[in-house]
Amino acid sequence: MSPSDEVPEAVPSVAQVEANLSAVHAKIREAGGDPSTVRVVAVTKGFAPSLASVARAAGLRDLGENYAQELVAKVDALRDHDGSPAFGGDGDGDGGLVWHFLGRLQTNKVRAIADLVGLWQSVDRAALIQQIARRAPRAAILVQINLAGESQKGGCAFADVAPLVGQARDAGLDVRGLMGVAPAGRPDEARPGFRRLVSLADELGLVERSIGMSNDYTVAVEEGSTMVRIGRGLFGPRPRTDTP
Ligand SMILES: *Cc1c(COP(=O)(O)O)cnc(C)c1O
């Protein structure tokens, strides 16, 4: 994307994002969650790179992207903005940002973002595990499950989760938990898939359950989400519609 393709007017203000984040925290509380333990991953995909510094100024620390190129562009924009290292690693405790990779990932893209990603959330196959282990040894990952068996979505089958967790550990990766994307539909229809993911995470002793997006995160929190991934609910409609 060239700078002329950016739509700066579509980037919300810090005040708007702060207000939206407070509303999200309130809804997490209403759903029985604790905003200090349910992490809000702010999904910046589809927006101009300048959104990353807006998100940070609004107090967000976990940012999510779906495409390697967009992630690199946003990290560069943050560097240009304030000269601080946008970070790497998981950034815990240093007030830095943690970038979450959420999209379908080709193995040949891993290298370009290996130093930038703090949590690889969309790990769904052995080849990707091997490549991440090679380019980002000991990286933290989530195994993504395809909750409703939709062929156009990423994620492995429920039956493949335990073997993939084993392979990832054998490869030296730090498996933190499971991730899933509910099928489009009424929020309540997401519940059975979320419930199944959470019970599998319990069974495998995995702490993180990354479930819930703008339209279904309250259901996800009710079901035990530890990480909600929210784009439109924080930033409004995405200016570019070629992102899933
Ligand atoms: C786009 C995306 C989100 C955020 O979606 P919103 O509906 O904008 O909240 C969360 N998770 C994944 C994997 C996504 O691709």
**45 within ligand 1 shell (Cβ under 6 A):** yes
Position 242 confidence tier, pLDDT thresholds 50, 70, 90? low
Assigned token pair, 51 = 């959104």
Q: pLDDT tens digits for 92-115?
A: 433 489 999 999 999 999 999 999
d(Cα 41, Cα 64) in Å, to the nearest integer? Answer: 6
d(Cα 131, Cα 148) in Å, to the nearest integer? Answer: 26
Say what the pLDDT of residue 96 is: 85
**181 within ligand 1 shell (Cβ under 6 A):** yes
CB-based contact 211:46 (threshold 8 Å)? no
Residue whose CA lies nearest to ligand 1 atom number 10: 229
210 CA → ligand 1 middle, Å = 11
**66 within ligand 1 shell (Cβ under 6 A):** yes
Provide the CATH number for the domain formed by 33-235 in this structure.
Answer: 3.20.20.10
d(Cα 106, Cα 135) in Å, to the nearest integer? Answer: 13
d(Cα 88, Cα 113) in Å, to the nearest integer? Answer: 10
Domain range list for the chain: 33-235
* 239 compared with 7, residue with greater pLDDT: 239
Q: Mean pLDDT, the chain, as a whole number?
A: 91
Residue whose CA lies nearest to ligand 1 atom number 14: 102
**61 within ligand 1 shell (Cβ under 6 A):** no
**Mean pLDDT, residues 217-233 taken together:** 98
For residues 200-224, b (16+ Cβ closer than 10 Å) or e, as one string? bbeeeebebbbbbbbbbbbbbbbbb
Q: pLDDT tens digits for 147-180?
A: 999 999 999 999 999 999 999 999 999 999 999 9
**44 within ligand 1 shell (Cβ under 6 A):** no
d(Cα 98, Cα 226) in Å, to the nearest integer? Answer: 16
Give, for 229, the enclosing helix (H) or strand (E): strand 227-230
% pLDDT > 70, the chain? 89
Q: Give bridge partners of residue 63 from the DSSP assignment.
A: 42, 99
Q: pLDDT tens digits for 39-80?
A: 999 999 999 999 999 999 999 999 999 999 999 999 999 988
